[in-house]
Amino acid sequence: MKKLMIILVMIIWCGVLQAALKEQEVEYKSGDVTMKGYLVYDDAFSGKRPGVLVVHEWWGHNEYARRRARMLAELGYTALAVDMYGEGKQAAHPEDAGKFASAVMQNLESAKARFLAAMEVLQKHETVDASRIAAIGYCFGGGVVLHMARMGVDLKGVVSFHGSLGTKIPARPGVVKAKVLVCHGAADKFTTPEQIAAFKKEMEEAGVDYRFIEYPDALHSFTNPDADEFAKKFNLPLGYNKAADEKSWADMKAFLKKVFSE
């Protein structure tokens, strides 16, 4: 019996060692700009699976976005951390981050083209069911995925984590295909109650299937463990909130499971 148990444990451990996250650096074009993304999946899961795009914070495509992509891969999805700035460009200071983010958001058609270029890469991957794609985004990235939904991109769902809510192109009835989840910090000082009310009114008037969740005591960037360091270094009202981070991730998991099963 003891020998059998040892054999079973060895078999299990061999399976664990053989099954691993497969990571790929990917380059793709949007117009004349080279975008540098990061694709990851778990080969322990067989067959086609849904794909999820991860849109970075205003700092650019960095390790934080990649970590979230790996977490999605561990859930059984193929994830692509996208590059919205081009050439894998990153900012080290809020002034530069603001300039990079503004340049993208001021030209939403170009932003859409960059997003669709990444989406095509994900859809064509051998592990992905091209008909089941969703997107999540953080801060700047949250605003990006909400805009992609507003612009009618064919996604099953989008999830915004402490993302910007305002827009110059409000959702219109019959245009939005994606279901929407907004994970918002109740103590976020970058978003006003008026902006929240306007967003909810916009979604309701456009007939969007959406859910807006507020997490108590959570500041802007509440999902990022580096937020406290950024807050101190740049004197910004940011803060990591472990409870809100974990709860919002759980809410996202339930949301994705639902939209991909429909």
Query: Is 234 a domain residue?
Result: yes
Q: What angle do CA 77, 82, 88 make, to 5 degrees?
A: 140
At 30-75, the pLDDT tens digits run 999 999 999 999 999 999 999 999 999 999 999 999 999 999 999 9
pTM of the predicted protein model? 0.92
Which domain CATH number covers 182? 3.40.50.1820
Query: Is 10 a domain residue?
Result: no
In eight-state DSSP terms, residue 190 is: T
Query: Is 48 a domain residue?
Result: yes
The domain total for the chain is 1
12 — pLDDT class (breaks 50, 70, 90): very low
Query: Is 38 a domain residue?
Result: yes
The pLDDT value recorded for residue 30 is 96
Query: Is 2 a domain residue?
Result: no
Inform me whether the pLDDT recorded for 4 exceeds 90: no
Closest among 196, 144, 150, 201 to 171, alpha carbons compared? 150
Inform me whether the pLDDT recorded for 8 exceeds 50: no
Q: Could you list the residue range(s) of the whole structural domain that residue 242 is in?
A: 21-261
Average pLDDT, stretch 136-142?
A: 98
At 90-129, the pLDDT tens digits run 999 999 999 999 999 999 999 999 999 999 999 999 999 9
Inform me whether the pLDDT recorded for 232 exceeds 80: yes
How far apart are the C-alpha atoms of 41 and 51, rounded to whole Å?
9
How far apart are the C-alpha atoms of 10 and 3, rounded to whole Å?
11
Handedness of CA 154, 249, 54, 98 (dihedral sign): positive
Inform me whether the pLDDT recorded for 223 exceeds 50: yes
The pLDDT value recorded for residue 6 is 44
Average pLDDT, stretch 156-165?
A: 98
How far apart are the C-alpha atoms of 228 and 159, rounded to whole Å?
23
Query: Is 79 a domain residue?
Result: yes
Query: Is 3 a domain residue?
Result: no
